[in-house]
Structure 1
Amino acid sequence: MFFSIRSLSVAAVFSLGAVLNAADNPFVGRWALTIPGGGAGWLGVESKDGALSSSVLWGGGSVVPTAGTKVDGDTLIVTREQKNKEGKLSAIETITAKIEGDALKLTTAKKNAEGKEIGKPAEFAGKRIADIPAKPDLAKVKFGDPIQLLNGKDLTGWRLLKEADNGWSVVDGVLQNRVVKAKDKHFGNLRTDAEFEDFNLKTEVRTQEGSNSGIYLRGIYEVQIMESFGKPLDSHHMGALYSRITPSVNAEKPIGEWQTLDITLVDRHLTVILNGTTIIDNQPVLGCTGGAMTSDEFKPGPLYLQGDHTNVDYRNMVLRPVVK
Structure 2
Amino acid sequence: MKKLVLLTVMIFAFACKEKPKESPKEVEETAETKVEEKSNWTVLFDGSSWDGWHIYSGRNIEEAWSLEDGAMLLNKTSEQRKDGERFNIVTDKEYTNFELSVEWMVNSGANSGIMWGVVEDEKYPEPYTTGPEIQVLDNIGHPDAKNGTNHQAGALYDMVSPSQNVVKPLGEWNHYLITINHKVNQGSVVLNGVKIVEFPVNGEAWDAMVANSKFATWEAFGKFKTGKIAFQDHGEPIVIGYRNIKIKEL
Q: Does TM, normalized by the shorter one, top 0.5?
A: yes
- What's the C-alpha RMSD, in Å, of the aligned pairs? 2.7
Whichever residue aligns with residue 276 of structure 1, its letter is: G
Answer yes or no: is the 8 Å Cα contact 2:117–2:222 preserved in 1: no
Give runs of aligned pairs for residues 78-93 of structure 1, distance below 5 A: none
Query: Which of the residues 193, 218, 230 maps onto 2:117?
Result: 218
Answer yes or no: is the 8 Å Cα contact 2:107–2:240 preserved in 1: yes
Answer yes or no: is the 8 Å Cα contact 1:229–1:254 preserved in 2: no
Question: Is 1:184 the counterpart of 2:77 in the alignment?
Answer: no
Answer yes or no: is the 8 Å Cα contact 1:154–1:169 preserved in 2: no
Structure 1 296/247 Cα, relative in aligned 2: closer, same or farther at 3 Å?
Answer: closer
Instruction: Output the CA distance in 2 between the equivalents of 1:307 and 1:206.
Output: 14
Instruction: Output the CA distance in 2 between the equivalents of 1:263 and 1:205.
Output: 13
Q: Report deviation, 1:152.
A: 1.0
Q: Report deviation, 1:295.
A: 2.9
Instruction: Output the CA distance in 2 between the equivalents of 1:190 and 1:153.
Output: 16
State the partner residue of 2:232: 306
TM-score by length of 1: 0.50
State the partner residue of 1:202: 101
Instruction: Output the CA distance in 1 between the equivalents of 2:222 and 2:105.
Output: 31
Whichever residue aligns with residue 223 of structure 1, its letter is: I
Unaligned runs of 5+ in 2: 1-37, 119-130
Answer yes or no: is the 8 Å Cα contact 1:164–1:187 preserved in 2: no
Instruction: Output the CA distance in 1 between the equivalents of 2:178 and 2:95.
Output: 14
Q: Residue 235 of structure 1 aligns to a residue in which SS?
A: helix
Q: Residue 295 of structure 1 aligns to a residue in which SS?
A: coil
Question: What number of residue pairs does the alignment pair up?
Answer: 179
Q: Report deviation, 1:243.
A: 0.2
State the partner residue of 2:168: 253
Give runs of aligned pairs for residues 26-45 of structure 1, distance below 5 A: none
Ranges of 4+ aligned residues in structure 1 off by more than 6 Å: 230-233
Whichever residue aligns with residue 139 of structure 2, its letter is: S
Instruction: Output the CA distance in 2 between the equivalents of 1:217 and 1:193.
Output: 13
Q: Which moved more, 1:221-230 or 1:292-301?
A: 292-301
Answer yes or no: is the 8 Å Cα contact 1:239–1:272 preserved in 2: yes
Question: Is 1:172 the counterpart of 2:69 in the alignment?
Answer: yes
Question: Is 1:153 the counterpart of 2:48 in the alignment?
Answer: yes
More strand by share: 1
Whichever residue aligns with residue 230 of structure 2, its letter is: Y
Give runs of aligned pairs for residues 225-236 of structure 1, distance below 5 A: 225-229=136-140, 234-236=149-151
TM-score by length of 2: 0.64
Query: Which of the residues 203, 221, 226 maps onto 1:295?
Result: 221
Answer yes or no: is the 8 Å Cα contact 1:207–1:313 preserved in 2: yes
Whichever residue aligns with residue 138 of structure 2, its letter is: E
Aligned-pair identity in percent equals 29
Answer yes or no: is the 8 Å Cα contact 2:111–2:136 preserved in 1: yes
Whichever residue aligns with residue 274 of structure 1, its letter is: L
Query: Which of the residues 176, 197, 217 maps onto 1:280?
Result: 197
Answer yes or no: is the 8 Å Cα contact 2:117–2:224 preserved in 1: no
More helix by share: 2
Whichever residue aligns with residue 210 of structure 1, its letter is: G
Answer yes or no: is the 8 Å Cα contact 1:189–1:307 preserved in 2: yes
Instruction: Output the CA distance in 2 between the equivalents of 1:264 and 1:149.
Output: 16
